[in-house]
Structure 1
Amino acid sequence: MIALFDLDGTLTDPKTGITRSIQYALDRLGRPVPDADELTWMIGPPLIASFTKLLGSPEDAQEALRLYRERFGASGLFENEVYEGIPALLQDLRDQGVRLFVATSKPHVYARRILDHFELSRFFAGIYGSELDNRNADKRDLIRHILEQERFDPARAVMIGDREHDAIGAKANGLASIGVTWGYGSRQELLDAGVACLVDAPQDLAESILTRAATMPRPAAAP
């Protein structure tokens, strides 16, 4: 059994670092600076797409992303908090023989620093994210890349995340998905995107993953 985990809104709550870094970028651009709560819709999707939507200009979006990274890479990535119950969940899944991977739209250079900082890297067989040039920022591309690198059967894997992009990326690559409701996507968003089920607390997630594992086809025996 393989479990792919989103990072932002699933393993950690990055609201403070992400929204402050967005505000920094907008201020440097001379644009209006919304309150943090008005920017939470940007947590999860690829930032270049969100900045383009917010600013209405691909050129401004690229500069906003550069400015965002200027602050985020220095301090914003550590303005973050591990959700209660996540380390115990990951340990339980590892003990049950589930192979764990991170699949985040965040650049992997940041994802690794965050996971190392919070001592979560040890649970994962691999940490995958986008490139700084935005390759693999789309979850469909990212999961396809992971499958190419790891060569596991998508029918024996599940994607866990808090936004529709996680479910859409999973479906495009033949994976089931589980939606978690403690992040930044609504229940309806996740259901509309086709998640197999919703989970409301980290301590309930292992059961959902392991129950799904029990119904998966077993690997074919070697000839």
Structure 2
Amino acid sequence: MIKAVLFDLDGTLLDTNDLIYDSFCRAFKEVLDIELPKEEITLLYGKPLKTSLIKYTDNEDLLENLINSYRNYNKVYHDNMCRPFEGVKELLLALKERAIKIGIVTSKRKELAKRGLELGELIGYMDVIISPEDTIKHKPEGDPALKACEMLGVLPKEAIMVGDSPYDILCGKNAGCLTCGVEYTALQLSELIKIKPSYLIKKPLDLLELI
């Protein structure tokens, strides 16, 4: 029986796909003076920033500059490029009506994660928000999902992790949770399917059928 749903944030509940893409483009151009194809950039979605960017430089100063450039652009334009996907509010309300606990498990810093949830009028539905500040190990390790389950008072097998990237699904699997991929991902859907999530949904409200 599913007692809790753990959601990734960006690309799952909040449509910030254009913001993330623009933030990566700005960082690569500003710091390394390179332009990458969109297909390559979308493969970086859903990962901690350092994990995404370290492959492009082994210079610690340049890596730090890349991260800062991304974060600075992202913070400035965040509020204008952040909105819930259609059906998300209705989904969260229905989960609450069924007494299902709700958590966020995100690679986004807590300050900005809360800001996005507030902008989308979603924060009131959340029982816990797990961000990189809360665990030593991050996605794709299971620690963030395990931390969420611990704080929600549920067993991992009683929770389902929902996300748009392979790192989300691996995080849930490594924690012992059920997993659900979203087909409206901005990533290549084939990359998500390769990880073999327990379920796939075409739109947020489809999750209710699984619960």
TM-score bucket (shorter structure): 0.7 to 0.9
- Alignment gaps of 5+ in structure 2: none
TM-score relative to the length of structure 1: 0.83
| Cα-Cα RMSD | 2.2
Distance 1:127 1:29 in 2: 32
Q: Distance in 1 between matches of 2:157 and 2:190?
A: 25
Aligned twin of 1:220: none
**Structure 1 range deviating more: 16-25 or 154-163:** 16-25
Aligned position for 1:2: 4
Q: Which residue of 1 aligns with 2:22?
A: 20
The count of residues paired between Structure 1 and Structure 2 equals 207
CA distance in 1, matches of 2:138, 2:26: 22
Measured in 2, the distance between the counterparts of 1:71 and 1:33 equals: 16
Question: Following the alignment from structure 1 to structure 2, what is the Cα–Cα distance between the partners of residues 74 and 96?
Answer: 37
Give the residue type in structure 1 aligned to 2:147: H
Structure 2 counterpart of 1:83: 85
Equivalence for 2:149: 147
Q: Select 2:198's aligned residue among 196, 199, 209.
A: 196
Structure 2 residue corresponding to 1:172, chosen from 171, 174, 195: 174
For residue 74 of structure 1, give the secondary structure of its aligned residue in structure 2.
helix
Deviations 1:21-54 (A, max 9, x none): 222222321421336565222221222111112x
Residue 139 of structure 2 corresponds to which residue in structure 1?
138
Q: What's the TM-score once normalised by structure 2's chain length?
A: 0.88
- 1:92 — aligned with what? 94
Q: In the alignment, residue 138 of structure 1 is paired with which amino acid?
A: K
Partner of 1:56: 57
CA distance in 1, matches of 2:32, 2:59: 16
Instruction: Return the offset for 1:192.
Output: 2.5
Local SS of the residue matching 2:181 = strand
Q: What is the CA deviation profile of residues 136-157 of structure 1, one whole-angstrom value per residue up to 9, with x for unaligned ones? A: 4324231233234334211111
Deviations 1:142-184 (A, max 9, x none): 1233234334211111101111111111111111101111013
Compare CA radii of gyration and give the structure with the larger one: 1
Q: Does 1:207 align with 2:209?
A: yes
Residue 31 (structure 2) aligned to one of 29, 32, 57: 29
Superposition deviation, residue 56 in structure 1 = 3.1
Structure 1: gaps spanning 5 or more residues: 211-223
8 A contact 2:105–2:145 mirrored in 1: yes
In 2, Cα distance between equivalents of 1:188 and 1:95: 34
Q: Which position in structure 2 is the counterpart of 1:11?
A: 13
In structure 2, C-alpha distance between the alignment counterparts of 1:88 and 1:150, rounded to whole Å: 22
- Equivalence for 1:72: 74
Higher relative contact order (CA 8 A, sep 6+): 2
Deviations 1:60-92 (A, max 9, x none): 222200121122122235412321111111111
When structure 1 is superposed on structure 2, of 11-20 and 112-121 the one drifting more is 11-20
**Where in structure 1 do 4 or more consecutive aligned residues deviate above 3 Å?**
34-38, 134-137, 147-151, 185-188
Q: Larger deviation: 67-76 or 98-107?
A: 67-76
